[in-house]
């Protein structure tokens, strides 16, 4: 059997398959593959989502109820084993500290009988419960304690999948870190001058201290380095894609008159919409492909800008395709565009997964024959062989913010087409220039007339009873309620005292209130409001299930929808008049603004309530949430968000999604970036590196990092 040192001699490259690690066979390798982990490098980038704070040692008497805590106890009695009727075993013994005695209980772990000699000291970690005779702890984690040997203060807690345990990941990560130390000792991928210029630690230190932190400050230093690496890699990839690609050719659309479309609209275009449409008309009249992104608040009128582009394409004898992230949003676009364009002789078709095979075949044939002017659907439009006879325009809506490769695939499938991307995130100008240097960005910074303001309030837990009464008042009045929670299920975070985002860039702990989960809170509300129809929704559900629930809510089948942020890209529900965001301090201002935009879309007076106990203890959190009370301009909020919180929330995308979108980039740590200058520095360094070496030939390790990040971006980076 090979020991770890021998294994390193065989496996000394981070690109080596993870199955080469000692103890990782085909079965665990297949489980890792389901998580997108194929190599040792992939495993090292499977960062903890949080940590057990075992360094915060308390006395038994000071241990908080219902929270895990670390205590140092001296074993007082010899462990004894009792056999129960159901074949279970119970191992018990007593231990103490200066504040009292505690009974330690372990189920079905008879092998621990000799692990706790009387008089020995251990650090136990778990929940401390009060009993008649003192305290009890059930099946705590434990480590031998000695004043001479300092124990690790933070234990990582990793995202899991079925068939994989924390213990297994920790064991495999230990092997991977040995290999990383060996590999990175030869060459740090980041040039030394850049590392020193930005006061960054070496990569081997960063990897070790993100997975096994020596201290909070070491963890902060590790996180800063790894975030910088991600931002630099992203900047290099986007910049290379933009500079390498020659301007795509497109069929010019000479007739750009949209007066017939404007005459059919039941409202007047805003000045901002007119400005954006004018930019689109100018782009599409050229023989160079339009490559434009339209950004603006939910409800600002991006769809009519897309309709104008589609109408121009069809008027000039071309076809258009519109791609939406979900079937229900694609259906909404289909109805909106049909209402606007069918009277102008434009034929629209909807191509989604719920159609029968025969219906799909008929639409495929009609599109290929040129009988359909506009086909609207989900990602199936680029993945299932949809062929336009006369491609002229492709529109992509939301969730494609980082899809450099998707644009390449769309361009390849639809030669000579113009490209329009829509996003409901108002993006700061400085960030847009950095992130979308290869895209022209149009801002709709004006809301349509008649759009009512959503009154916003920030409250703490002491308002819970009044809030429940307000929910009841809205539902009894015929309205509907959204409630957004930061997590899916309670069990997600039960092992982690601290989430990665609880630790700021200086290694200080942010205030952390208990998190509300969508599943758990929906059950709780069911007990509070048994008379109301309550549903819950989150990103781990299958698309068909999410669409069914969202359709039901839009149709009025539910009174209350408890959800994670997946509803950011939901459908219009004009009857929804109350948005409640739990643990609001966990969200960026722009994300909160997007959520607020889900209500107030009908005639009902609407409200947004931000619930956060942090506003009692955290001045920064209070200032941020009070900003939401007084500011309603999405772009102003975005600028403040960037200044106050950094670019992390703009990189987060939909926080509920954990799977890399086809052709997109999934950030692992950069979404926690709270330093706006760090991203600018990364992009500046990328520009300088590419100026010296346009293909990164002088920096092969960096080139490899770029290829790995953009591995699904077909044909974009060579």
Q: What is the mean pLDDT of residues 591-605?
A: 87
List the single range of 162-166, 224-228, 538-542 with lowest mean pLDDT: 538-542
The pTM (predicted TM-score) of the whole model is 0.77
pLDDT of residue 158: 93
Tell me: the pLDDT tens digits for 283-318?
Answer: 999 999 898 989 888 778 899 999 999 999 999 999
- CB under 8 A, 24+ apart: contacts of 550-553: 550/326, 550/328, 551/328, 553/480
List the single range of 41-55, 91-105, 600-614, 662-676 with lowest mean pLDDT: 662-676
Residue 239's φ and ψ, nearest 5 degrees, are -65, -40
d(CA 120, CA 253): 82
Per-domain residue ranges of the chain? 55-151, 259-444, 455-631
- The band of 185, judged by pLDDT with boundaries at 50, 70 and 90, is low
Tell me: the pLDDT tens digits for 518-565?
Answer: 888 889 999 999 999 999 888 778 877 888 898 899 899 999 999 988
CB 543 within 8 A of CB 574: no
- The band of 3, judged by pLDDT with boundaries at 50, 70 and 90, is low
Q: Which residue has the higher pLDDT, 580 or 707?
A: 580
Residue 126, H or E segment? strand 121-131
Q: Is the pLDDT of residue 718 over 50?
A: no
Q: What is the mean pLDDT of residues 461-485?
A: 95
d(CA 377, CA 222): 42
Q: Is the pLDDT of residue 714 over 50?
A: no
- Indicate the fold that domain 55-151 takes in CATH: OB fold (Dihydrolipoamide Acetyltransferase, E2P) (2.40.50)
Residue 286 burial by CB count (10 A; 0-12/13-18/19+): exposed, middle or buried?
A: middle
- The band of 238, judged by pLDDT with boundaries at 50, 70 and 90, is confident
Average pLDDT, the chain: 85
Q: Is the pLDDT of residue 627 over 60?
A: yes
pLDDT of residue 568: 54
Q: What is the mean pLDDT of residues 469-478?
A: 96
Task: Tell me if residue 712 falls in helix, strand or coil.
Answer: coil
Q: Is the pLDDT of residue 431 over 80?
A: no
pLDDT of residue 656: 39
d(CA 683, CA 234): 9
SS3 track for 61-89: HHCCCCCEEEEEEEECCCCEEEECCCCCE
- The band of 207, judged by pLDDT with boundaries at 50, 70 and 90, is very high
Picking from 405, 10, 358, 360, the residue whose alpha carbon sits closest to that of residue 349 is: 360
55-151 against 259-444: fold identical = no
What value, to the nearest 5°, has the Cα angle with vertex 272 and ends 266 and 278?
A: 90
Q: Which CATH class is domain 455-631?
A: alpha beta
CB 122 within 8 A of CB 145: yes
Q: Is the pLDDT of residue 122 over 80?
A: yes
In the DSSP assignment, the letter for residue 618 is: -
pLDDT of residue 243: 59
Beta bridge partners of 296: 444
Q: What is the mean pLDDT of residues 492-500?
A: 64
d(CA 347, CA 334): 11
pLDDT of residue 548: 87
Torsion sign (Cα): 114, 118, 121, 122: positive
CATH number assigned to the domain with residue range 259-444, chosen from the 4 options 3.20.20.70, 3.30.360.10, 3.40.980.10, 3.40.50.300: 3.40.50.300
Residue 123, H or E segment? strand 121-131
Beta bridge partners of 84: none
Q: Is the pLDDT of residue 389 over 60?
A: yes
Tell me: the pLDDT tens digits for 240-282?
Answer: 866 555 667 899 999 999 999 999 999 899 999 999 999 999 9
């Amino acid at each position: 059997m090979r020991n770890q040192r021998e294994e390193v001699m065989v496996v000394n490259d981070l690109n080596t398959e993870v199955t080469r690690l000692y103890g990782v066979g085909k079965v665990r390798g297949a489980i890792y593959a389901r998580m997108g982990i194929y190599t040792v490098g992939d495993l090292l980038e499977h960062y903890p989502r949080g940590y057990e704070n075992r360094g915060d040692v308390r006395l038994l008497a000071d241990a908080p109820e219902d929270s895990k805590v670390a205590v140092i106890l001296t074993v007082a009695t010899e462990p004894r084993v009792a056999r129960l009727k159901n074949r279970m075993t119970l191992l018990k013994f007593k231990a103490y500290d200066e504040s009292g005695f505690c009974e330690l209980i372990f189920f079905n772990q008879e092998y621990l009988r000799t692990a706790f000699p009387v008089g020995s000291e251990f650090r136990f970690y778990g929940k401390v419960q009060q009993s008649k005779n003192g305290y009890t702890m059930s099946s705590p984690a434990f480590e031998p304690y000695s004043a001479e040997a300092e124990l690790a203060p933070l234990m990582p807690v990793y995202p899991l999948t079925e068939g994989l345990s924390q213990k297994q990941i920790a064991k495999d990560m230990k092997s991977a870190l040995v290999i990383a130390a060996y590999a990175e000792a030869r060459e740090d991928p980041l040039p030394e001058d850049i590392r020193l210029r930005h006061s960054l630690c070496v990569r081997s230190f960063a990897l070790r201290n993100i997975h096994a932190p020596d201290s909070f400050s070491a963890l902060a230093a590790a996180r800063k380095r790894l975030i910088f690496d991600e931002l630099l890699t992203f900047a290099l990839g986007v910049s290379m894609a933009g500079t390498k690609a020659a301007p795509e050719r497109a069929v010019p659309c000479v007739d750009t008159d949209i007066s017939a479309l404007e005459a059919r609209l039941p409202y007047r275009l805003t000045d901002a919409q007119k400005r954006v449409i004018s930019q689109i008309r100018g782009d599409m009249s050229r023989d160079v492909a339009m490559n434009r992104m339209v950004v603006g608040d939910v409800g600002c009128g991006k769809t009519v800008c897309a309709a104008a582009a589609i109408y121009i394409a069809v008027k000039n004898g071309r076809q258009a395709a519109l791609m939406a992230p979900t079937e229900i949003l694609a259906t909404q676009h289909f109805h909106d565009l049909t209402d606007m364009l069918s009277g102008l002789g434009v034929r629209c078709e909807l191509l989604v997964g719920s159609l029968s095979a025969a219906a799909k075949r008929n639409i495929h044939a009609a599109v290929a024959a040129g009988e359909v002017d506009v086909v609207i659907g989900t990602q199936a439009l680029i993945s299932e062989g949809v062929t336009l006879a006369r491609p002229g325009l492709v529109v992509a809506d939301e969730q494609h913010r980082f899809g450099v490769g998707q644009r390449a695939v769309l361009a390849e499938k639809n030669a000579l087409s113009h490209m329009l991307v829509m996003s409901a995130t108002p993006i700061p100008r400085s960030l847009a220039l950095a992130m979308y240097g290869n895209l022209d960005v149009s801002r709709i910074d004006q809301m349509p007339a008649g759009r009512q303001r959503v009154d916003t309030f920030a409250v703490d837990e002491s308002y819970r009873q009044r809030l429940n009464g307000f929910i009841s008042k809205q539902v009894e009045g015929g309205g509907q309620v959204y409630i957004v929670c930061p997590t899916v299920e309670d069990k997600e975070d039960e092992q982690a005292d601290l989430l990665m985002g609880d630790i700021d860039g200086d290694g200080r702990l942010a205030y952390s209130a208990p998190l509300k989960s969508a599943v758990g809170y929906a059950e709780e509300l069911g007990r509070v409001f048994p008379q109301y129809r309550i549903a819950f929704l989150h990103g781990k559900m299958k698309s068909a299930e999410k669409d069914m629930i969202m359709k039901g809510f839009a149709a009025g089948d539910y009174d209350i929808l408890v959800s994670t942020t997946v509803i950011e890209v939901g459908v219009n529900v004009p009857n929804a008049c109350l948005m409640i965001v739990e643990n609001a301090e966990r969200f960026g201002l722009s994300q909160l603004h997007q959520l607020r935009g889900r209500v107030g879309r009908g005639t009902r007076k609407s409200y947004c309530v931000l619930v956060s106990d942090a506003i009692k203890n955290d001045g920064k959190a209070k200032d941020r949430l009070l900003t939401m009370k007084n500011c309603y301009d999405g772009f102003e909020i975005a600028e403040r968000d960037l200044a106050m919180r950094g670019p992390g929330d703009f990189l987060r995308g939909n926080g509920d999604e954990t799977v890399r979108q086809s052709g997109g980039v999934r950030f692992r740590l950069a979404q926690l970036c709270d330093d706006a200058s760090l991203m600018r520095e990364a992009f500046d360094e990328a520009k300088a590196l590419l100026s010296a070496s346009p293909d990164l030939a002088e920096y092969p390790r960096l080139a490899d990092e770029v290829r790995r990040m953009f591995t699904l971006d077909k044909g974009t980076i060579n």
